[in-house]
Amino acid sequence: MPRITIPQENAHDPLGYAWSKFTPEIGAAAAAYSLTVYEHSRLSMREMEAARMRTALINGCHLCRDMRAERDLAGHIERSGGNAEQAARVRDNTPPDEQFYRNIADWRNSNAYSERERLAIEFAERFGDAPQSMDEDEDFWTAMHDHFSDAEIVDLTFAIGSWVALGRFTHILALDGVCMPTMPE
């Protein structure tokens, strides 16, 4: 049950209602931020999904945990006013399989991820759970710089920041109990 009042006629999309009715300017900016991450990130889809899913597990957002790139991302981009084909052209858009998602919670014990994907997961985990743990961890930053350019590190940081903020907003206000239109119920 949402923690804010959602009229029954908007119960099918409580998140969209909250963003557009309570704080339309902030909601529009949040939607643009989210869309920009998906349309313009140059990280591979697997790298993005590794970080996004680890963030979703930390946030507890049901919508985020249930979202799958192959099934849901193009619809999300199009509903947000974006161009899914354009987004697919800027990166390796190979979607992960279900095993990829299942292993995220236990990523340290899985051999299912590339080194870049492992670092994206670790970065998301530390960003979400213990951001100060990265302050003096030169080994971590050396590994990040060995595998990612500065532009990619900034890209990943912006992406994780959007997922932390918007996933927590959605979960904390209990707006994550309704499946997205492209997701099975």
The model's confidence at residue 23, banded by pLDDT at 50, 70 and 90, is very high
Do the beta carbons of residue 151 and residue 157 sit within 8 Å? no
> Residues of the chain with pLDDT > 70: what percent?
96
Measured over the CA atoms of residue 52, residue 156, residue 129 and residue 137, the dihedral's sign is positive
Instruction: Provide the pLDDT for residue 80.
Output: 87
pTM of the model: 0.93
Confidence of residue 133 (pLDDT cuts 50, 70, 90): very high
Q: How far apart are CA 139 and CA 90, in angstroms?
A: 30
pLDDT of amino acid 178: 75
Rounded mean pLDDT, 143-171 = 97
Report how far Cα 162 is from the mean position of its chain's Cα atoms. Answer: 7
- 51 has pLDDT over 90: yes
CA–CA separation, 177 and 82 (whole Å): 24
Statement: residue 18 has pLDDT above 60: yes
Angle among Cα 70, 71, 76 to the nearest 5 degrees reads 100
pLDDT of residue 159: 98
Superfamily of domain 8-172: AhpD-like (1.20.1290.10)
pLDDT band for position 180 (cuts 50, 70, 90): low
Q: Residue 94 phi/psi, 5° resolution?
A: -70, 115
pLDDT at 183: 41
Section 91-120 average pLDDT: 95
Of the ranges 49-58, 80-89, 174-183, the best mean pLDDT one: 49-58
d(CA 101, CA 175): 22
Measure the CA–CA gap between 73 and 181, rounded to whole angstroms.
11
Residue 39: pLDDT band (50, 70, 90) is: very high
